[in-house]
Amino acid sequence: MAEILKQMQPKTIWKSEHGKRRVGMMFFSILLMGFGISVFSFSGMGVDPFTALNMSVSAKIGVSFGFWQMLVNAVLLLIVARFSKKLINLGTVINMVGVGYVCDFFTALYARFLPEPTSLPVRLGLMLCGVILLSLSASLFFTASLGVGPYDAVGFVLHDRTPIPYKWCRVLTDVVCTGIAFLLSGPVGVGTVVTAFCMGPIVSFFNAHVSEKILNASPDAFRPTVHFYDFTRFGGAYISVNGHFAS
């Protein structure tokens, strides 16, 4: 635990290379992620698997989505801390606490000021906006290299501890979340499927055209064959163009 707290010290991060920019990217990505989920949810066409699970359970037990997601993330964080401390940093904690409450804030605004969308073109537009916003936020968050969200980290831990490729570890966790959400009559829909198939390529696009440029990452920052960002020089990790950590 002392090792985790040491690498999470804001002062150390702030003074590292591109520290201020990375911290700014991380905080903005959390705000954008919560906003993107709220737009996605407002479309009524489903949300990503982990959000669907948490929205389903929180609705059943009568607590806010933000509070329930924070509790689930806290449990996942304890598990991840036991097996892979390298995935945890300041961004992990901010992600754990912030995303759900930002989503709750914007959802409350929609309920108060906006009519529920009924037109299919409008709902599709909102869903696509949600996917794009989530992809951009994920790109910024991963590239800032200040930790991994607790749910994302579960797939990396499974990959490290089993012979299963990361892609299938993530598929497994997403299928479990989607299945439980479906059984609880949660917000599972076409948007959930679109997220699974489209976010990866869109995140890669934003990595190359937005996030990489914010940190002025040059082509020399890539390993030649696997194309990983090398952020270890300022306390980060190797992160691939699709957001996967390299061990």
pLDDT tens, position by position, 107-157: 999 999 999 999 999 999 999 999 999 999 999 998 888 888 899 889 888
Tell me if 182 is assigned to some domain.
yes
Residue 5: pLDDT band (50, 70, 90) is low
| Per-residue CA distances from 24 to 53, 71, 95, 140, 214 (Å) | 29, 25, 13, 10, 11
In whole angstroms, give the CA distance from residue 5 to residue 239. 22
Q: How many domains does the chain have?
A: 1
- Say how many C-beta atoms besides its own lie within 10 A of residue 226's C-beta: 11
Mean pLDDT across the chain: 82
Long-range contacts of range 111-117, CB-CB < 8 Å, 24 or more positions apart? 114/42, 116/44, 117/42, 117/43, 117/44
Q: Can you give the residue range of the structural domain that contains 135?
A: 2-219
The answer to whether 132 and 202 have CB atoms below 8 angstroms apart is yes
pLDDT of 158 strictly over 80: yes
Tell me if 235 is assigned to some domain.
no
Residue 224: pLDDT band (50, 70, 90) is very low
Tell me if 54 is assigned to some domain.
yes
Tell me if 232 is assigned to some domain.
no
Tell me if 23 is assigned to some domain.
yes
